[in-house]
Structure 1
């Protein structure tokens, strides 16, 4: 039992170290990084049309059942080998943008996440964040960056913020008008 616990602790430490060594890259839950040549041409064409100057692009395949439960940015890469792949995630960074896009196999952009700083948030969202500790005692925003989420199939836009209370992290989702939509985590 002791050997099992030590092995588990070692694996967790290695995964944690790998994540930090890669600069804290964030990927999409239920995804696996793949080479460009394994990404459907329609997906690459869609990305190039939208962002012709995208550099350092990373390609991921994503399980349909995981995407259907909710496309979530995470520090995990947990796609099982031989999984049913129905979606592709593209990520890239440039000086002014960190972008994640979820595409179907036909190249249709379904959702996107763009990392933003607090000054780029709409004023109503910033005001809501300033009132966070009053409306939800004990919670504090713990990230200096946020995600602007766009769901193209539902024509919805919202902002994702990470807050913490007693070392418990939650994801807060705000509408552009500053209304708190939901809390996850």
Structure 2
């Protein structure tokens, strides 16, 4: 089964420029029995209780884009580098991780659905978009990039009377990191 991401206007970068229309990028799954041993060993080491739900080749153009909420600009675009995007379940937790072909972990994030939001995050939404309300889709993303632990909250907000949705990534202090452009429900 292939995983396909539709990149809408302003949601992800494509070859260094904002997409002006819808573009579809396909993450090709790794076939059963063809999993790279170095990557599988690293996953077992990093996530001992893990159940790998998906393992796919990540197109280099997507390395460092929205799925991992990186803001440091460190994007490797070397066409020779091969990356693997892994979806993992470990108990009630879900993770996304990015490994290179040698089994080096480049990035991981833990996603907590329906997270309790700090007051600073709630206040940041109210200030930035007073005519919106936070809807049920709230994520606490704990990530480890280059040995540095980051916490970011991803909230979906909805315009009260029109049903327009936006996404916001906000740090625990209330600093807005990124916004995802609106879409109609």
TM-score range, shorter chain: 0.5 to 0.7
Residues 151 and 93 from structure 1, CA distance in 2 versus in 1: closer, same or farther, beyond 3 angstroms?
closer
Tell me which of 148, 152, 162 is aligned to 1:155.
Answer: 148
Residues 161 and 109 from structure 1, CA distance in 2 versus in 1: closer, same or farther, beyond 3 angstroms?
farther
Aligned position for 2:168: 172
Residues 116 and 151 from structure 1, CA distance in 2 versus in 1: closer, same or farther, beyond 3 angstroms?
same
Structure 1 distance, partners of 2:37, 2:66, is: 22
1:149 positional shift: 4.4
Tell me which of 67, 83, 99 is aligned to 1:72.
Answer: 67
Deviating 4+ runs (over 6 angstroms): none
TM-score by length of 1: 0.63
Count of residue pairs brought into register by the alignment: 144
Aligned position for 1:141: 134
Aligned position for 2:53: 57
Higher-Rg structure is 1
Tell me which of 110, 116, 134 is aligned to 2:106.
Answer: 110
The unaligned stretches of length 5 or more in structure 2 are 5-24, 69-78
Q: Which has the higher helix share?
A: 1
SS at match of 2:38: helix
Q: Kindly indicate whether residue 120 of structure 2 is the aligned counterpart of residue 128 of structure 1.
A: yes
Q: Which has the higher strand share?
A: 2
Question: C-alpha root-mean-square deviation of aligned residues, in Å?
Answer: 3.0
TM-score by length of 2: 0.63
Structure 2 distance, partners of 1:30, 1:139, is: 33
SS at match of 2:62: helix
